[in-house]
Each structure stands twice: as structure tokens, then as C-alpha cells.
Amino acid sequence: MANDHLTFDVHKGEIFGFLGANGAGKTTAIRILCGLSSPTSGDVNVAGFDIYRETEKIKKNIGYMSQKFSLYEDLTVSENIQLYAGIYGISAKKRKEKEAELLKKLGMGEARGKLIAGLPLGWKQKLAFSVAIFHDPKIVFLDEPTGGVDPVTRRKFWDLIYEAANNGITVFVTTHYMDEAEYCDRVSIMDAGKIEALDTPAKLKEKYQASNMDEVFLQIAR
Amino acid sequence: MIEISQISKSYEDVQALKEITLQVNEGELFGLIGPDGAGKTTLMRILMTLLLPDTGEAKMNGFDVIKDFKKIRHIVGYMPGRFSLYQDLSVEENLNFFATVFGTTVEKNYDLIRDIYYQIEPFKTRRAGKLSGGMKQKLALSCALIHKPKILVLDEPTTGVDAVSRKEFWEMLKKLQKKEITILVSTPYMDEATLCDRVALIQKGKILDVDSPRRITEKFPRKIIRARSDEMYRLINDLRAFKKAESVFAFGQYAHFTGIEDNVETTELDIYLEKLNHKNVLVEEIPPGIEDVFMSMQEQAVSSE
């Protein structure tokens, strides 16, 4: 059983950390929340839509980014943005405005016509995240967005996450970096398909008498 | 022992390694610490005789990586970053295959792998492709050890692995080190650096520093102040707006602050944050960690380009 009677709420504008060991059932749960897979039983509402009947509406209202795949390597920066904007039905005029604004913010104006394949990993990740929220979704799902990148890039990526949450986007994020768990408003920890803990990092540390989230995680998942 | 002298390597227009010189001593647990694209894999592939350097030389236990490549292949064990075992062979078949290739048997060297292999032995008839991430990792390590190598090279064995499995993996490495195997391991996790005897911090094909993790943090000259308040995002932005701020980054539940010329006092920041109505403010000076050092070196390397 990949997910065993999961029950939890994530609030608007919240950064929600979804932690668990490899094979704990995180990916299964995310696939259900994104409308890509149906639960065997149970009720789920995402962005106010029902997971069984309204999967298409859910897809319009969420963004998704994973470490493994997010952008097309053999398309340019601008072509990737065009593709995503097209899929989400954003008008050409609006897309051009937003694209210019975005590339300026990321300091990537000169890379507009470059292929994704040739960009540094840190740029790819920032761009992938920005593309995932280009259509102003209510919720964005981030599946290990920071794996393998250098410590500075990792933190700059979290600056983007904070900013998105501050703008009212709900952020649902998985990570293996326990220091990143501290950056979340609330954290859930899964083990063997069940949620073993769910609270703010401060309360979890208090409950497990731990000095950091790494210790909390080791106590629960070991 | 691994001796690397002035090794450079380029791919088309990218210089992956720039005159790397490095020595790993016999029986040492040595870490190559650096992010994606730093050149860790390229260096390891050269040492494994799978790739030729453009210039420079390297020796593994005295054998030259170009002239003596066949000899080297008998004394090294390699665990590449991507799972490279036969997916459609069973656990047991994979292990037997690697033992046979090296002219030995599983029984003969079972002692060396017992601690690792017993955990996956109950699944020995399962195909390797059907194993979970953690089990694949254990099988790959068993296969890399089955011919009793003198030098073990592990390319990011803990990337994408959860915190518990990572901890267990490092405990296994410590045990192997006691069996007189020289271990070279790469990782993007800075916290794992502290588990090595010595580390090389590597970024964009260049070595930033080589030393014991303790020495690296001890000799770091900058003053690190950490701060906490109830609102992390606002705290970081406010600290960055402080007139004498050089860099501000999130570190778990704290933000780490370095001031221009290190002349910022904790009391100054305390007063500044209280004025901005931050609640539950805590500001204190702390000794730097490996990650602080790496980030500072990285910023310096970027700004001197």
C-alpha cells in the first residue's frame, strides 16, 4: 500500500513541506493531488476542485516542477515559455509582457534565445520554477526542486519560493535537505504510506525534543 | 594512494577540469565536495581509466592511469552516479557476474560485503531493476567491493537519497575504511563533508581548498552572525537591506549574516530588527560551518571571474 488513509489540509499561501524516506509514498500522493492518478479510496480537493470529477480544472489551477524533468532541453528559453503559455491559453500579448518582466527579474535577458541544454543548472531550475507558475496557479507542486545544486543557488531558489508564497501561491514541496524543511510553514513526514507527523517545524522540534529537523526526521523515519 | 598532478580536461568549449593537483593518502576517506557541473565526475572517470585527461598525470597506488590502465582496473572498485548494474539480472546474478569478471567468487570475499549485502540478501532472486533506490545503492556497493579493491571510488552515492539512508550509507563507508580501503567519494551535500578525513572543495573545475573539514572551518577568517525571528522571509529581506550587509542566506531556522569588513556587532543588528517589529529576535555570533566557507569561496570565485 503506497498511501494508507492520508488526511491533511494545506492552506492558501502556505509553504507546505512534504517529507519522507525514499519509497514512503510521496510521489504517489503528489500524482493523486495533480490529478494524474486516482486514489483507491478517499476524498481529495485541490484548489477547491474534486479529484475524481474535476481533474481538468485542477490541472489548470496548479503548476508542477520536478528535478528530473521540467523544460525542453532542445528548445530555447523563449520557446519554452511560449510552449507553456500556449498550453495554459495565455494570450500572445500577455505572454510577451510577462516574459520580458520575468527574464529581467531573473537577470536572464541575454539568454532568451539560448537552448536550455546549454544553461547552468541553477538557471534551469529558476526558469523551470518561473515557468511552472507562469499561469498564476493557485498551487505549485515542487518535487525535489533543489537536488544536486550548489548551496548558493539552492538558497536563491528558496528566495523565489518565499516570494511566490508571499504573492498568495500555495507551495507544496518535497526535499531531502533537512535545512530546507525549516523554511516551510508546516511540514508533514511520511513513513510507509502514513503521515507520522504534521506541524510547524518549531512545534515538531519541541515535540521530539530535537534541535533541528534532521533529528526529528531521523527519529520518525528510522 | 591516489596522486593527481596538473590534470586538465575539456569538452568542446567547456573546460571541465583546470590543472587539478591532489593527493589522497592510503586508507583515507576523502571527499570531493562540490555542486553539479563542478567536474567531480570527470575527475573520477579519469581515475577509473574511462576517460583520458588532456594534460597532466594521475596514479592509482603507483599505477599510471594511461599506461597501466589494465592493472588499475583490478585494484579499483567504482560506483558510478547512475545505477549501472544489469536491470534484468537478479540481485544474486549481478553479484556473481561481477565476481566472475574479476576471477573471484562471492564466497571468497563475502566477509567484506556481509554488513551491506545481508540487508538485500532476502531479495536475492529479485531483478535489480525492481529494487527500491536504497536497495539498488546497497547492491551497487556490494558489486563494487566483491573483488576486494584497494581503492573505492563512489560518485555521488547519496544524491536523491533520504536523510536516514544517507546516514546509514556513511556508517558503511566508515566500516569499509577500517578494512584498509582508500575511499574517494563525491557529494553535493555539504554536511557530509564533516564525515570525511579530508575534503577538496571543488567548483567549476577548480579546487578551492583541500584540508580536514575542521581546519577548513577553523581557518575561515570571516565573522558569521546568525539571526532568527518569527518571520523568516521578512527577516532575510530586512537583513539584506541593512546598510552594512554583505551576504544574507537562510540556514535552516536561522539566517546567516556576514557584514562588510566584519565590523558589524550583534547588538547593532538586534536593535535594527527590534525597530522593524520582528518578534522573538535572536542574534548571535557563531563559528562558521563548511557550508558557510563553501558559499563564501564560491561568491569570491564568481566575483573574481
Question: In chain B, what are the domains?
Answer: 2-216 (3.40.50.300), 224-287 (3.30.70)
Please name the residue that has the C-alpha cell 596522486. Answer: B3
Q: What is the DSSP letter of A113?
A: T
Is the Cβ of B230 closer than 8 Å to some Cβ of chain A?
A: no
Number of A:B CB contacts under 8 A? 94
Q: Please state, in angstroms and rounded to a whole number, the distance separating the CA atoms of residues B47 and B220.
A: 31
Confirm or reject CATH 3.40.50.300 for domain A15-71+137-221, answering yes or no: yes
A149 and B190 within 8 Å at the Cβ level: the answer is no
Q: Please state, in angstroms and rounded to a whole number, the distance separating the CA atoms of residues B254 and B123.
A: 43
Q: Please state, in angstroms and rounded to a whole number, the distance separating the CA atoms of residues B223 and B216.
A: 14
B164 and A158 within 8 Å at the Cβ level: the answer is no
Give this complex's ipTM.
Answer: 0.78
CA nearest neighbour of A147 among A177, A118, A169, A123: A177
Is the Cβ of B35 closer than 8 Å to some Cβ of chain A?
A: yes
Residues of chain A in Cβ contact (below 8 Å) with chain B? 20-24, 67, 120-121, 144, 147-153, 155, 158-159, 162-163, 165-166, 176-179, 182-183, 201-202, 212-214, 217-218, 221-222
Is the Cβ of B251 closer than 8 Å to some Cβ of chain A?
A: yes
CB B204 within 8 A of CB B50: no
Is the Cβ of B291 closer than 8 Å to some Cβ of chain A?
A: yes
A23 and B132 within 8 Å at the Cβ level: the answer is yes
pLDDT of residue B304: 61
Burial class (CB in 10 A: 0-12, 13-18, 19+), A91: exposed
Q: Please state, in angstroms and rounded to a whole number, the distance separating the CA atoms of residues A169 and A163.
A: 9
Q: Chain A partners of B249 at a C-beta cutoff of 8 Å?
A: 151-152, 155
Q: Please state, in angstroms and rounded to a whole number, the distance separating the CA atoms of residues A178 and B166.
A: 12
- Using one digit for the tens of pLDDT, what is the confidence trace for B118-165? 989 999 999 999 887 778 889 999 999 999 999 999 999 988 788 888
pLDDT of residue A39: 85
CB B300 within 8 A of CB A154: no
pLDDT of residue A69: 65
Q: Chain B partners of A20 at a C-beta cutoff of 8 Å?
A: 162
Chain B contact probe: residue of A18, A179, A200, A217 with most B CBs at under 10 A? A179
pLDDT of residue A85: 94
Please name the residue that has the C-alpha cell 515557468. Answer: A131
B164 and A212 within 8 Å at the Cβ level: the answer is no
- Chain B, window 123-162: residues with a beta carbon less than 8 angstroms from a chain A beta carbon: 132-134, 156, 159-162
Q: Chain A partners of B236 at a C-beta cutoff of 8 Å?
A: 159, 162
pLDDT of residue A47: 85
Sequence-separated contacts (24+) of B44-50 with Cβ below 8 Å: B44/B78, B44/B153, B44/B155, B44/B184, B44/B186, B46/B7, B46/B9, B46/B17, B47/B2, B47/B4, B47/B76, B47/B153, B47/B184, B48/B72, B48/B76, B48/B78, B48/B153, B49/B73
pLDDT of residue B300: 77
Q: Chain B partners of A155 at a C-beta cutoff of 8 Å?
A: 249-250
CB neighbourhood size of A144 (10 A) = 18
CB neighbourhood size of B271 (10 A) = 13
A149 and B236 within 8 Å at the Cβ level: the answer is no
pLDDT of residue B110: 92
Q: What is the DSSP letter of A138?
A: S
Is the Cβ of B34 closer than 8 Å to some Cβ of chain A?
A: yes
Please name the residue that has the C-alpha cell 567548483. Answer: B203
A149 and B250 within 8 Å at the Cβ level: the answer is no
Burial class (CB in 10 A: 0-12, 13-18, 19+), B102: middle
Chain B nearest-CA distance from A86, in A, is 31
Low pLDDT (below 50) residues in chain A: none
Low pLDDT (below 70) residues in chain B: 302-305
Q: From the centroid of its chain, how far is CA B21?
A: 18
Reading the block at residue A122, the C-alpha cell is 541553477
Q: What is the DSSP letter of B155?
A: S
Classified as helix, coil or strand, A6 is coil
CB-closest option in B34, B134, B161 to A176: B161
pLDDT of residue B211: 96
pLDDT of residue B93: 96
B233 and A151 within 8 Å at the Cβ level: the answer is no
Classified as helix, coil or strand, B170 is helix
